[in-house]
Structure 1
């Protein structure tokens, strides 16, 4: 019987990957996933990881994605060590769990500005700095030139008690991704830009929220969710590996990949009103 030849490898070996928000619950798993795939990883975050990982292909940087000088300095340091950053995974942002939850009429302007500054402007600054590096340093032989931007189910379905978060994620995963996908190929013909939009992810924080309010799991990850479960951390990381891989996603750009266990809507009325 003849053997079938078909390359099913990710092809990420020796790729230099930038991961922002690398000390968070998702970011930590992303770092491990890309190291396991053979990549060199530059991990950026405002804070140092609680459980530092030592690896010969990993370097960590303390960087503020809303500070141009801090970001540019960290990117230059990363390039000096591992070369051009071909893959950029933008996981940094204000987490919904740590936003002020209230009606829009009660939201202070400063809170609105804080969320949009980190989630939207910070993503813009990171994309801009990364694309400048691609323009200056990438060659025709460079592979896996890809940005993976973190949106959210909130950008699709909205969040009643935190419109600022939903607005920031919608702007990222629709307006920014769709525009950059068209712009990036003018910088490098193999440059791709996509988004992942996770639903509730099975982090320790989400588990705590479910313990504090038992209806949370049903409302957020079961009632309108086909698989009736929160999203495993590893599932988000695998989606990012797929999008980063030119072997697998080389013809995908400008797309939003929902990693939400099949969520089909927001639950508007979780309990029947009293008569």
Structure 2
């Protein structure tokens, strides 16, 4: 009797994937991952690609995710290029390393509002524009209809001196993902909404921070981390591939996938000197 074949391919070939924040340390790797999986990729960022890529399945546009009309126009341009945007990976946002760090008691309102505007409002506007395209252009044959929002360990454990970043990520990975997962099936019955929540990722910026502060690696990525190491950028990209694939994650929606090497908390009080 012949053995049945279990197909372990992602089946992302030919899907059209939007990656926001495509010039970032993580977003740029996500772009490469989807190209390697055979997808067409529309890449949005407010700055040029970190590493310019010439690829027949890549379309880059400069886009500010807080610009409502500009975002809608860019999505329409992307659909004109490669067809319906089936998958949306929302990696754009203000990163913790570049957010203002103040005690909440001394934080200007404008600093709080800027982080929430980019991270929460920008994510909302991107999801809304993407879902409108799904409602208008998706057909019964469209597959891999999925959004992957970017949360953070900060949304679970908080961040001393940077409350707006933690608040923005908590809003995204819990309130927005859980709500949108239910709303999205009214747009398309196969639509799935999930989030990834990375811990400290081994980007060049994180490595610089560890070099500048010898205790940072231990404090952020070892003391409360089961695997005792930061997360490779490729691990975050692979999680996005997994969640975007109907074949692998077709029954996963409304969930937050921690990509944090087993982090179990924030170190509140370092060892006394």
TM bin (shorter chain): over 0.9
Residue in structure 1 matched with residue 47 of structure 2 by the alignment: 47
1:116-135 alignment runs, 5 A limit: 116-135=116-135
1:201 aligns with 2:188: no
Which residue in the other structure is 1:31 paired with? 31
CA root-mean-square deviation: 0.8
**C-alpha separation in 2, matches of 1:189 and 1:51:** 37
Deviation at 1:190, TM superposition (A): 0.2
Distance (whole Å) between structure 1 residues aligned to residue 107 and residue 240 of structure 2: 33
Aligned to 2:62: 62
Asked if the contact 2:28/2:50 (under 8 Å) is kept, the reply is: no
Aligned-residue offset at 1:2:
3.1
Matches within 5 A, 1:59-208: 59-208=59-208
Match of 2:224 in 1: 224
Cα pair 2:19 2:30 within 8 Å, conserved: yes
CA distance in 2, matches of 1:161, 1:242: 34
Report Cα offsets for 1:161-210 as digits up to 9, x if no partner: 10000000000000000000000000000000000000000000000000
Instruction: Please say if residues 15 and 39 of structure 2, whose CA atoms lie closer than 8 Å, have aligned partners that are also in contact.
Output: yes
Structure 1: runs of 5+ lacking an equivalent: none
SS at structure 1 position matched to 2:186: coil
- Report Cα offsets for 1:125-171 as digits up to 9, x if no partner: 00000000000000111000000000000000000110000000000
| CA drift at 1:59 | 0.4
- Structure 2 distance, partners of 1:61, 1:102, is 34
Whole-Å separation in 2 of the counterparts to 1:139 and 1:49: 32
Where do residues 3-14 of structure 1 align in structure 2 (5 Å cutoff)? 3-14=3-14
> 1:241 and 2:246 equivalent?
no
Unaligned runs of 5+ in 2: none
